[in-house]
Structures are given as C-alpha cells and as structure tokens.
Amino acid sequence: MPADDRSEPLLPLSGLRIQARIVWALLLREVITRFGRRNIGFLWLFVEPALFVIVITAIWTATHDLHRSQIPIAAFTLTGYTSMLMWRNTPSRCIGALSSNQALLYHRRVTMLDIYLARILLEFAGVTTSFMVLGLVMWLGGWLEPPENVLQVIGGWGLLAWFGMALALTLGPLSERYPSVQKLWSPVAILLFILSGTSFLLDTFPPTVRYWLLWLPMTSGLEYLREGFFGSHFKAHYDLGYMCSATMLLMLFGLSQVRRVALNEVRIA
C-alpha cells in the first residue's frame, strides 16, 4: 500500500497516480483473498465465467436443429451470457464490500470508491478475458465466425461494462444503508436476466413487447453488440441515446450514494 504522506499537499496528477496505485493494490489483495494461492489460483477469475459460457454453448449447440435458426449459436451464447455475467456479477461483488473491507478505510488515502473500483475492474478484467479467449478458441475451432464489425463489438462491450459499473456503484452503497438490498438483488437479477435479451432476440417479439423490453438499458447494449457480431443474420433493435442517458443518471446517482455513505462513515469515526 502506498505510503501515507500527511504533510505535503498533492498535485492533481500525483494524487491521481497514488489513487491508481491504491486501486491496483486493492485489486491484487482482492485476487488473493478470493482465489488464494492454491490450485490454479487467480486463473479462476477467467475460468469460472468461461466454464459457464461453454456449458450454455454446448446445450444450445446440441439443440440447434430443434430451433432451426440461422443465428450462429456460438456467437449468440458468447455475446449474451458473457455480457450478462458482467452486469450481474459486478454489482454482486460490490454489495456488502464496505462491511467486509471497513478496516481498510483507516488508511487515509483509501476511500470507498477505491474499494468499489478495485472490485469492478477485477470483474471486468475476468469477464472480458473470458470473452476474448473463448471467442478466439471458438473461431480457431470453426464454431464461430469473426465479428462483422469489430469496432461496434468493442463499443457495445464498453457500453455494457459502463452500465455494470453504474449499477455496481449504485447497489454497493445502497446495500450499506439498506441491508435488504443484498437479499433482493438475487431475485431481481434473475428477473433482469430473463428480460434482458440474453437468451432471445428482440426481433422475435411484436413491437409492443420490444418497446417495453427496451426500457432495460442492457437490452439495447446487447442488441448493439450482437449486431456488430452477426448483424447480417437478424434485425437489431436498440436505443443507444436512451441507454447512455439512463446509465449516466444511474452513475451520478450511484456516486452520490457513495459520497453519502462515505460522509456518514466520517461522522461515525
């Protein structure tokens, strides 16, 4: 952990460097705490989501003839379930994070936001690596065609990561104020999984149903991502303006809650 210098004021750039080092140290600590040093250790960070996607892909591939669809099954499951893991797992890791790491806040330079950012970046790195490695392996194995628009895939992935981050920064501090958030998130996450488009395409529904499903920001991000992957096989439906606006509002609300809980911690201390 970086040295705690209380005597000299920090310039903005040097302060940013220190905070980056703090987040990196917290990230490494989280890896060791969660995965330990035995067996494959931190590789579980990538293997765990990869195994989940492989099992789902195998099931969908085995039933492909029953569906009689022209949609590439490997690309469909890879894009859907990895993106779902990102916006579902990231908030789960931030819920209750302060309670289990409260002792770290005795270090002057460590803040609540650092703790949340370390966990968010760790989840993002794990799921993104699984997404890239699985995509490469499936392509080399002949199960997957290259993305039709790589830049659009990167953009869609970034939008989904941003939404997952905003959701995590909202639910993390709210769980400290309202313990019931931790219990409610699991059933809510299941409901969002069902409605988010992970296992279906919006084009298969009538316009009225699509209208309501697009109120979920992650649905637009996933449709945009899939259009970049195999857009010639289906018609995508998304509203990126709404997704960005909703994610920005959620992000601002989440940061306000982080600040509110942090101020309460200072008063208690």
Tally of domains in the chain: 1
Phi first, then psi, for residue 75 (nearest 5°) are: -65, -35
- In-domain check, residue 3: no
Residue type, 47: V
- In-domain check, residue 6: no
Q: Quote the CA–CA distance of 142 and 145 in Å, as a whole number.
A: 7
Question: What number is the average pLDDT over the span 137-145?
Answer: 82
DSSP, res 173: H
Q: What per-residue string of b and e applies to 21-45 under the rule 16 or more CB within 10 Å gives b?
A: ebbebbbeebbeeebeeeeeebebb
Category of 142 on φ-ψ map: left (φ > 0), alpha (ψ -120 to 50) or beta: left
Q: Which residue has the higher pLDDT, 141 or 128?
A: 128
Asked if residues 256 and 264 have their Cβ atoms less than 8 Å apart, the reply is: no
- In-domain check, residue 34: yes
Q: Quote the CA–CA distance of 177 and 157 in Å, as a whole number.
A: 31
Helix axis angle, 217-230 to 73-94, nearest 10°:
150
Asked if the model's pLDDT at residue 224 lies above 60, the reply is: yes
Which pLDDT value is given to residue 6? 43
Question: What number is the average pLDDT over the span 79-92?
Answer: 88
Confidence of residue 66 (pLDDT cuts 50, 70, 90): very low
Asked if the model's pLDDT at residue 165 lies above 50, the reply is: yes
The predicted model scores a pTM of 0.84
Q: Which residue has the higher pLDDT, 81 or 218?
A: 218
Domain that holds residue 40: 12-268
Which pLDDT value is given to residue 78? 85
Radius of gyration of the chain (CA): 20
Q: Cα 173 to chain center, whole Å?
A: 17
Q: Quote the CA–CA distance of 86 and 129 in Å, as a whole number.
A: 11
- In the chain, % of residues over pLDDT 70: 83
User: For the ranges 39-48, 74-83, 112-121, which has the lowest average pLDDT?
Assistant: 39-48
Asked if the model's pLDDT at residue 85 lies above 90, the reply is: no
Q: Is 265 exposed, middle or buried (0-12, 13-18, 19+ CB in 10 A)?
A: middle
Asked if the model's pLDDT at residue 9 lies above 60, the reply is: no
Helix, strand, or coil here: 38? coil
